[in-house]
Structure 1
Amino acid sequence: MLKKKYWLAVLAVFLMIGILVGCNSEGDDTASSAESDDTSTEQINQEDTGQDQADQEEEVTIKFYTFGNEADYNWSETIGAFEESNPNINVDLIVLSEKGDTQEAMQKLDLAAASGEKMDVLMFSDPAGYAERVSLGMVAPIDEFIDAEGYKVEEEYKVNTILNGQYYALPGKFNPWYVLVNKDQLAEANLEVPTEWTWEEFMDYAKQLTTDERYGTYFHGPQGGGWMEYLKLALSSKNENSGFIKADGTQNFGDPMFRKTLEMRLQMEKEDQSATPYTDILSQKLHYRTQFFNQDASLVLIGSWMNTQLGGTDQFPLNFEVGIAPYPTNEGSGESGYTPVTTDYMSVASNSENKEAAYKFIRWYTTEGQIVQGKNIPSWNGVSEDDFASIVDTILSDTNNPEKVDKDSLINVLKNSKASKLIPPVAGQAEIYEVVQAEYEKLIYGEQDIDTTIENLEKQAAEILESN
């Protein structure tokens, strides 16, 4: 307190001296005064300019927390390119899981946040993890930066990350689901790789492709409370309300497209016998990679994370020609291209002291940075034709037989796929998934019909949502 009073007194003395000097100077000649004023103004301007340059050149370090490891994300080259073009921003990379385990990474991220560690950029692997941390207050809205640049996220990117009317992330990679196609088996059945098709046509293809040696298709779920995409087949072809929960937080099992999905699964397995039996999937612990590469199924619905293995690997050799077909549409819906999509959600931490620099990094990473990284198809719509083809070439070149992949069909599907509107997860969602699997198993094992299945799901989901 004494020190504070002392310095206040010193400041007062200097102010008085300044006033007295100013009063005594009033008698000076005009030219001298003008010269003095000009000199003072010049000094002030120089000081301001110097301060602006200092502000612009001031170095900051942003801490970037990610689940992605070096092998999968090429961070050294990617971050190096950013720092080269932004010499005043250093990126401190914190890899939360060296093996790329997203669950381990999220646990460590939550622990770091609870411990009050400094954070600037956060990377999430799924919409549930992203939305949950937004609701917990870990993530800052970035609307002001987007508005300042003057672009619209839904036009700039293939994935719209809006939550409750605000933006908290920009999307990185773009991994839509598609249909892996065994072109050799299609040729035997005199079928072409579809460039667009409906679920009815998908079912017809699967039926024609089924022989004594193989099934027309293979569905890798549901199992273990996961892989629920296989019970949202027709739902996922919609732009809005494409999941078990609607955007308003209520259950969606009354949607005609959910019923259609159950009808398809039942018909393909029991009547057409064109899909691998559900009991075989669970009892034999089958996997989509072995089913496709061993040619035990001609059509396999899966996510485009498979791009890195399409040309075959040492573990899964490729002995046939591969094509890519788009995710089927709902007949007469007028909606095409919609499919389940996974992406990386790049966010600014709410407690960041360098929000502008953090935003600058995520904006660069989700645009030019995706091209530099060269590991995934970007969500950014600004990728040129040449860059897009180059990225696909780079991805396929890491496989054993890239020449066996129909690159044109792959590019066509990736370019024309679209993500449905993001639906925030709700409390009790994991419990609902378990109920869905249990009721589906009763249906597929012949213990109940579709009407009873839907009725049970509507009732149980409503109770779970209400209790949470």
Structure 2
Amino acid sequence: MKYWAYSLTSALLVTGLLSGCAGGNTQNGAQPASGDKGNQITLKLHFWYNEDQDNWKTVYSEFQKKYPNIKIEAVTAGDNNAAEYLKRLDLAAASGDQIDLMMFSNATYYSQRVAAGIVEPLNEYIAKDGYKVPDEYYMDTTIGDKVFGLPAKKNIYFVMMNKKHLDEAGLLVPKDWTWDEFLDYSKKLTKGEGTNKRYGTYFHTFSQYYHLALSNQPDDYFLVKPDGKTLNIDNSLVRRSLEIRKQAEMVDKSATPYSETISQKLNYRPQYFNEKTSMIVTGDFMIPEAGGSDKVPANFQTVFAPYPKVNKTDPISSITAGDIMAVSSKSKHKQEAYQFVRWYTTEGIQLQGKYIPAWKKADLNKVIDTLIASSKTPDKVDKASLMYTMTNSIPQKYNIPAAFNEELEKAYQKEIERFLLGETDVDTTIKNAVQKGQEIIKNNSK
């Protein structure tokens, strides 16, 4: 059974089994938390983060200072694997486990669980608090006319670069560049042969690296258009994305070959910090790690450049992604759960000091200082180029994709993998991806 469809089936099963236990609106009138510890409740937060590494225990303690009668208890494997976490979340929902709060690492995962009916609409709570999501947050999480979650961290994508390698090659830190210029840098930064070879760049196995030129477009950047019926694969931007990968990996040999990435199970962190590659396209979640960590120290300074453009005249735009925190539709403490969601996505995430908040009222300069200071060696992080990149990158419009987008991405990825392994050419790859995509749309239109 298709993955998101499994989620929908599981959630509907739970709904059917539990419908007699709690009406959909019976908890909405719960009283707000008071300042005493009477009637203390425990909210269970399901996510994938490592609590110690990502400073979540500070979040819990700070929240409980403000709401003494609400305790937060995490349900997490602590492995930072968002995809595996979703399998556990769906199983917990199907089993009737206590779920009060849940997080999603991207809009696709969010829309899937909304479609499955396991997420509570927040319109009533938001109206009482007197704000509108687009006014408060950089990401508008509205689906139809309902808001099912609030944006937590915001990811802006950029290029992290080894300053030492740039200096050796006589290259300046780019402030505005195209993919052609990125490929030229990658070629000039490549050095050595065999096991000692240092590549100019490295593309990981995340989905955005399979459509690099499409991913950061201001709008209409998913593989299916907003109508949920029209494919967005057979176009110049997808074609350009394949050409970028081909040029870097097969022609210039300036990027780690895909075959090597999958056969050796490579990861972007050690590739970059062990200086096996000179630059990586990544998100601002890497800022706290730019100065290295206990596991992987940094022996060089990192500088930052904006996400490359397709054409010279294009605006500097960036992928806009990030976490969404939501309330379970089966929570017995929806009011209190919403209070945590709102507090965390405004005050709490700043106290946590690990991510860029999606909240518009956060002080970016202060947040950046906190993130850099949390790095193992802050002096290895160049704040000037980072602030330039962050303030000059225009975030794309935040869109919520069709619930079957993940299924489409996986089918598309299989065709791209064949291309990256040299089994098919660009035209054949796009033709096959379109055929598979049309089948998926047809199956999800019934």
When normalised by structure 2's length, the TM-score is: 0.81
How far did residue 444 of structure 1 move? 3.8
Residue 409 of structure 1 is aligned with which of 382, 385, 389?
385
- In the alignment, what sits opposite 2:18? none
* Inter-CA distance 197–83: structure 2 relative to 1 (3 Å threshold): same
Pair 1:274 & 2:254 matched: yes
Letter in 2 for 1:167: V
Q: Judging changes above 3 Å, is the alpha-carbon distance between structure 1 residues 155 and 395 closer, same or farther for their aligned structure 2 residues?
A: farther
Counterpart pick for 2:66 among 71, 77, 85 = 85
Q: What residue in structure 2 maps to residue 303 of structure 1?
A: 283
Deviations 1:40-81 (A, max 9, x none): xxxxxxxxxxxx999998856352322234213433332222
Match of 1:224 in 2: none
Residue 182 of structure 2 is matched in structure 1 by 202
Q: Residue 351 of structure 1 aligns with which residue?
A: 330
Residue identity matched to 1:427: F
Give 1:302 deviation, angstroms: 2.3
The alignment yields a C-alpha RMSD, in angstroms, of 2.9
The match for 2:357 is 378
Cα separation, 2, equivalents of 1:353 and 1:444 = 49
1:75 counterpart residue number: 56
CA contact (8 A) 2:219 2:396 kept: no
Residues 189-228 of structure 1 aligned to structure 2 (within 5 Å): 189-212=169-192, 213-221=197-205, 227-228=206-207
Quote the residue 1:462 is aligned against: 438
Amino acid at match of 1:109: L
- Cα distance in 2 for residues equivalent to 1:436 and 1:314: 37
Q: CA deviation at 1:134?
A: 0.9
**How far 1:323 sits from its partner (Å)?**
0.8
Give, as a single letter, the amino acid of the residue that structure 1 aligns with 2:370.
Answer: I
Secondary structure at the counterpart of residue 70 of structure 1? coil
TM-superposed deviation, 1:177: 2.7
- The 1:107/1:299 distance shift into structure 2, 3 A limit, reads closer
Q: Counterpart of 2:150?
A: 170
Shift of 1:460: 1.8
**2: distance between equivalents of 1:444 and 1:328?**
21
Offset, 1:120 = 3.3
* Aligned match of 2:119: 139
Aligned residue pairs total 406
- The Cα shift of 1:233 comes to 0.4
As a proportion of its length, which structure holds more helix? 1
Q: What stretches of structure 1 of length at least 5 have no aligned partner?
A: 1-51, 222-226
Q: 1:121 to 1:402 in 2, by over 3 A?
A: same
Larger radius of gyration: 1
User: Is the counterpart of residue 436 in structure 1 residue 407 in structure 2?
Assistant: no
Q: What amino acid does structure 1 have at the position aligned with 2:359?
A: W
Distance in 2 of aligned mates of 1:429 and 1:438: 13
Q: Which moved more, 1:130-139 or 1:173-182?
A: 173-182
Pick closer, same or farther for the CA change 1:290–1:390 going to 2, 3 Å: closer
Q: Secondary structure at the match of 1:265?
A: helix
SS in 2 for 1:241: coil
Q: Check conservation: 1:162, 1:422, Cα contact below 8 A.
A: no
* Whole-angstrom CA distance in 1 between matches of 2:329 and 2:43: 13
Over 3 Å counting, the alpha-carbon distance change for 1:440 and 1:120 in structure 2 is closer
- Conservation of the 8 A alpha-carbon contact between 2:242 and 2:426: yes
Instruction: Please tell me whether residue 392 in structure 1 is matched to residue 366 in structure 2.
Output: no
Q: CA deviation at 1:104?
A: 5.0
Q: SS of the residue aligned with 1:138?
A: coil
What's the CA shift string for 1:404-429, capped at 9, x where partnerless? 22123233434555254233343373
**Structure 2 match to 1:312:** 292
C-alpha distance in 2 between matches for 1:348 and 1:201 = 45
- Per-residue displacement from partner, 1:2-38 (whole Å, max 9, x unpaired)? xxxxxxxxxxxxxxxxxxxxxxxxxxxxxxxxxxxxx
Q: Secondary structure at the match of 1:72?
A: coil
Letter of the 1:426 partner, please give it.
A
- The separation in 1 between residues aligned to 2:404 and 2:390, in whole angstroms, is 33
- 1:32-71 aligned within 5 A: 61=41, 63-67=43-47, 68-71=49-52
Identity over aligned pairs, percent:
39
Structure 2: 5+ residue stretches without partners = 1-30
Secondary structure (helix, strand or coil) at the match of 1:234 reads helix
Distance 1:53 1:80 in 2: 18
- Are the counterparts in 2 of residues 176 and 419 from structure 1 also a CA contact under 8 Å? no
CA distance in structure 2 between the partners assigned to 1:299 and 1:414 by the alignment: 17
CA contact (8 A) 1:231 1:261 kept: yes
Provide the rounded CA distance (Å) in 2 between the counterparts of 1:165 and 1:232. 30
CA offsets 1:163-192 (integer angstroms, 9 cap, x no match): 234211111122333211011111222222
The SS at the match of 1:324 is: strand
Measure, in 1, the Cα distance between the counterparts of 2:85 and 2:256. Answer: 34
State the distance in 1 between where 2:122 and 2:157 align. Answer: 28
| The 10-residue stretch of structure 1 (246-255 or 328-337) with the greater mean CA deviation from structure 2 | 328-337
Alpha-carbon separation, structure 2, partners of 1:123 and 1:53: 22
* CA gap 1:346/1:201 in 2 versus in 1, 3 angstroms: same
1:451 corresponds to = 427
Secondary structure of the structure 2 residue equivalent to 1:248: coil
Asked if 1 retains the 8 angstrom alpha-carbon contact of 2:320 and 2:398, the reply is no
Change (3 A) 1:100 1:260: closer
2-structure distance, mates of 1:304, 1:131 = 23
Cα distance, 1:393 vs structure 2: 3.3
The match for 1:39 is: none
2:398 — aligned with what?
421
Counterpart CA distance in 2 for 1:334 and 1:303 is 20
User: Residues 255, 163 of structure 1: CA spacing in aligned structure 2 closer, same or farther, 3 A cutoff?
Assistant: farther
